[in-house]
Amino acid sequence: MAYNGKTNWTDGEIVYPEDMNRIEQGITDARGALDTHIADYVRQPAYAATSGTSAAYTVTLSPAPISIGEGFGITIVPHVDNGANPTLQVNSLNPAALKDKKGNGLTAGKLKVGYPYTFVYVSSAFILMGEGGGEIPKLPNMLKGGSFENTGANIVSNSAYSTTYRKFGSYSLSVTCPLGSLENVVSIPTNITTIANHQYYLSVWAYSTTSGASAQMYARGAEPSVSALLTANTWNFMSGILTFSTTTTDSARLDNNTAYSTIYYDGFMIIDLTDAFGVGKEPSKSEMDDMVQSFGGWWDTDLANLTSDANAAASEVLSGKTYYSNGLKNTGAMARRTGGEFPGYERAQTVASNNGRVHLYAPLGAYVDQTGDQGGNHFGVFADDPDFNSINFPDDKNVYGLQGSMPRRGGYTNPISTAWDGSTMWVRIPQGAYQTNGGAGYPEITLSAAQARADGNIQPGNIRDKVWIYGTQGTLVADSSGRMAILYDLYPGAWATGTWNIATIPQCKNFIFGAHSGSTYPSRLYSYATDGTVSQHLYLYDNQGVSVTLLTLNWGTTLGIGSIIFNAAARMVEIYNSGINGNDSYFGTRNLPGNFNVNGPLTLVWDCQQPGSASPYPGMRLDGMVLYA
C-alpha cells in the first residue's frame, strides 16, 4: 500500500493494527528506496581499493551492481602501479579497459599506488576523469619564479609585488591600469624560446575587486594571447593553448587592460606540450586544466637550480636518452652496444695476437641490454678472420674451442682424379694434413696403372661431347643438321573452332623457315570475318607443352608470313611479314618463356577460337622450307 504519513496524533489516541501496518510499510518502502539509492552508481559513484594484478584490477562493491551502464562512476585506490593497458573488473561482471580522456589505454605507471582516481563508464570503457597522486608531474614550467615571491617580473610603474591578495606563497604580482590608460604591461625577465608549430599551454591565477576586469597573458611579446574577463573578489583560473608560425626567443608578459583597476597575478605557467608529449599526442586544454588543478594549480620548475649539481657528459649517457644539466635538456651520445651483427657480441675494435694468445679490444659504449647469445645474459666481442676455419686445422687439434676438420692423411693416399693435357699428368689429391711419416718415408700418393697412362691423343676434340677421359671433357658433336619442307593448308570452314598441329621440327639449336615466293597461295594466317570476333594464333610449342605466341589475329584480315627464325642460345624466335596484306606491327621478336625447353623437338601449332556469327572462315597456310642445325 502507498504510505500516507499521519502527523496529527494526539495524546491518548488509540493506535489500530492498520496504523501499525501502514507505519511498518512506510519503513520498508523507505529502506527499499535507500537501498536503490545506494546501488545507483551513476548518481552516487562507488569507492573501492583494488586487488588483482597491475594489468587487471578487480574491486568488490556492496551492494553488487547487476550491470555496468553508461555513466557508472567509481573512484579506485590502486594497490599497485598499473601496467600497460589495464582493465577493471567490478565484482563478477565483465572487465572493461581503463582509458584516458582521448580514449587511449593507460600507459604503465599512470596510476600510482595509494592515490585515488575517478573513472566514468562510457562506451564500454572506464574513462579517467581526474588524476590523483601526490607528486608534481614531470612537465617543466618554462617560467622561473611564477609565484612572484619578490622576484619573477620586470617591475614597471603601477606594478609591484603584493601581499594584499595572494594564491601561492607570500606574494603576488599586482598590475594597475591607471585612469585614462588602455593597458599596463609587465614582462617576465626569463627569456624563453617558443618553437614554430609547437603547442604551448599557458595558465595563471588572476584576482581583481573590479568586476569584468580584462586580464591577458602572452608567451612572447606579441600576439597571440589568452585573455579573460574576471569575476570580482575571487581567484580566476585562466588557461589556453597557443601555437606560433615562427621560432622566437622573447619574454612572456601579463597585461591589465581595464583602466582604473588592479589585477593580482599568481602561479604563472608555460608548458611546451609538444616537447613533453610528442607531435600529435598533445593533451587538450581541458585535460591540462584537470592535471594542473589536481596538482595544486601551479608548480615551479627551476631546472637550472634543480640540475646544477649534475655532472654527466653526453658521452656518459646512452644515445637517444635525455638528461638535464644546468637547466638544459641534453641528449646522450654513448653508443648502446647490442650485438647488432651477432647476438650478444660486438665486433672487436682492434685485434692483436702472438703465439698462444689473442688480444681483442672492445669498442667504447654501454653493454646493458643483457640479450646475450642464444638468450644468455652476457656480452662479448668478436673478430672475423676467414682463415679461422675448422678445415684449416687437422681434425685432432682444437683451437679456441673450434675442433679441426681437416683429415690427417696417413702413409699412403689414393688420388681423387688424374688428368692429362697432352704433355703433363695432373694428379688431384684429397684435402688433408700431410704431416705424419708413414711407410718408407713422408706420406705418398699412389697411382693405379690406368691413372698413370698418358696419351697425346687425349684431346677434347677427339672425345665425344660430355664424355670425360683422364679429366678431359670431350667436345666432339655429331652433325645433326638437316632440312624439311612444309606444305600445310587448312581451311576448316565457317565458325570453325579448334587447334591443329602444322609441323614438328627435330631437336636443334637453330632453324629458319622461309616461305616459297611466287606461290599462288602464299603462307599466311587469315580470316574473312565480317561480324563478331575471331581469335586465331600461331604458336611454337616445346615437347613439354610450353608455348610462345608468334602471331595473334583478332579480326578479319590476312597476315602474310615471310620467315620464322629460332635461336636456342638467345632464347628467342623472330617472325617476319612477307609483305602481303599484313601490318608489320604484328611481327617481330618473341622471347621464349623461362620454362621453355629448347633441348627437344619443336612444333608449329595454330588455333581458332570464338568465331563470329557471320561466317568468319578462318584459315592457315604454311608453304616453304625449314633448315635446322
Domains and CATH numbers, the chain: 46-130 (no CATH), 159-301 (2.60.120.260), 412-473 (no CATH), 482-628 (2.60.120)
Side-chain-side CA neighbours of 608 within 13 Å: the count stands at 26
Rounded CA-CA distance 218/252 in Å is 5
Q: What SS3 state is found at 568?
A: coil
Measured from the Cβ of residue 550, the count of other Cβ atoms closer than 10 Å reads 22
Rounded CA-CA distance 604/26 in Å is 106
Task: Write the CA distances from 87 to 84, 112, 530, 531, integer angstroms.
Answer: 9, 15, 75, 72
pLDDT the model gives residue 575: 93
Q: What ranges in 260-407 are assigned the alpha helix state H?
A: 273-277, 285-294, 303-306
- The dihedral sign for the CA sequence 36, 39, 40, 46: positive
Question: Are 412 and 444 a contacting pair, CB within 8 Å?
Answer: yes
- The dihedral sign for the CA sequence 300, 304, 309, 310: positive
pLDDT digits (tens, 9 = 90+) for 236-271: 999 999 999 999 999 999 999 999 999 999 999 999
Element (H, E) at 31: helix 17-38
pLDDT the model gives residue 533: 63
The C-alpha cell of 516 is what? 616459297
| Cell numbers 632464347: residue | 571
Residue 396 Cα to chain centre, angstroms: 50
pLDDT the model gives residue 54: 95
Instruction: Mark the ranges of the chain whose per-residue pLDDT is less than 70.
Output: 1-4, 23, 26-43, 130-138, 301-309, 325-328, 338-340, 343, 368-379, 420-423, 436-456, 470-471, 493-495, 518-520, 529-534, 579-585, 610-616
Rounded CA-CA distance 571/154 in Å is 87
pLDDT digits (tens, 9 = 90+) for 532-543: 566 889 999 999
Task: Write the CA distances from 18 to 1, 22, 24, 30, integer angstroms.
Answer: 11, 6, 10, 18
Question: Are 215 and 208 a contacting pair, CB within 8 Å?
Answer: yes
The residues pairing with 262 across neighbouring beta strands, listed in sequence order, are 176
- The dihedral sign for the CA sequence 330, 336, 340, 346: positive
pLDDT digits (tens, 9 = 90+) for 265-308: 999 999 999 998 889 989 999 999 988 887 778 887 655 545 65
Q: Which positions ≥6 away from 360 have C-beta within 8 Å?
A: 348, 351, 381, 382, 383
pLDDT the model gives residue 140: 85
Question: Are 393 and 358 a contacting pair, CB within 8 Å?
Answer: no
Rounded CA-CA distance 320/335 in Å is 9
The C-alpha cell of 318 is what? 646512452
